[in-house]
Amino acid sequence: MSGGHGGHDSHGGNKKVALLISVLALLLAISETLGKASQTTTIAENIEAANYWSFFQAKTIRMTVMRTAAEEMEAELPMVTDPEQRKRLEARIDRWQKTAQRYDSEPETQEGRKELAARAKQAQAKRDRAGAAYHHFEIGSAAYQIAIVLASAAIITGASVLIGIGILLGIAGTVMTGIGMFAPEAVHLF
């Protein structure tokens, strides 16, 4: 009779381990989903930052061309004796200088060099945060996967130490996933 009871305890223990595996699998799925989202955000923000920096470089080239043209015309201005022509050249120099200033900073459209640089840096910060989160989610996922394997092995071998290690790895996975969600830049892994 006690042999049957021991079998019943073993079966009940297996149910608990199966429940543990189910919980670990759920947490793994969450961590994997968050990791994929972070990876996608990393790529998207990297592209956005690169686009802003490309636009910044184009504005820099345009600004340099405008300033150079204005400076060249200013250098030639003393040689112009016709008052009407001089007035037209001064107006053109003024327009080119204003255009160059607009290329440098244009708060209304957020498309001046200064604004583009700020936007690029914001995209880079988002990229870096998402990248840090991704690494934490990946480590959390690995911990969950190993915990699932160990808990499964415990059912077959009956080695309860494997369950304990699996639980500890599950906790570690949860900690890493939590860091990835709430403070990915607080702990630097790589």
Q: What is the pTM of this model?
A: 0.81
DSSP annotation of 188 reads -
**In this structure, how many other beta carbons lie within 10 angstroms of the beta carbon of residue 78?**
8
Q: Is residue 187 part of a domain?
A: no
**Structural domain harbouring 37:** 16-182
Name the DSSP letter for residue 78.
G
User: For residue 31, is it within any domain?
Assistant: yes
Q: How many domains does the chain have?
A: 1
Task: Classify residue 11: in a domain, yes or no.
Answer: no
* Side chain identity at residue 101, one-letter code: Q
Q: Is residue 8 part of a domain?
A: no
Three-state secondary structure call for residue 189? coil
Instruction: Specify if 188 maps to a domain.
Output: no
Residue 109 phi/psi, 5-degree rounding, is -100, -10
What is the chain's pLDDT, residue by residue, as a tens digit (190 residues)?
444 444 445 667 889 999 999 999 999 999 999 999 999 999 999 999 999 999 999 999 999 999 999 999 999 999 999 999 999 999 999 999 999 999 999 999 999 999 999 999 999 999 999 999 999 999 999 999 999 999 999 999 999 999 999 999 999 999 999 999 999 999 887 6
Identify whether 134 is part of a domain: yes
Letter string b/e over residues 8-24, b meaning 16 or more CB atoms within 10 A of that residue's CB = eeeeeeeeebeebbeeb
In a domain, 136, yes or no: yes
What is the C-alpha separation between 29 and 22, in angstroms, rounded?
11
Question: Is 1 inside a domain boundary?
Answer: no
Where do we find the tokens 């699996």?
A: 166
User: What is the C-alpha separation between 180 and 172, in angstroms, rounded?
Assistant: 12
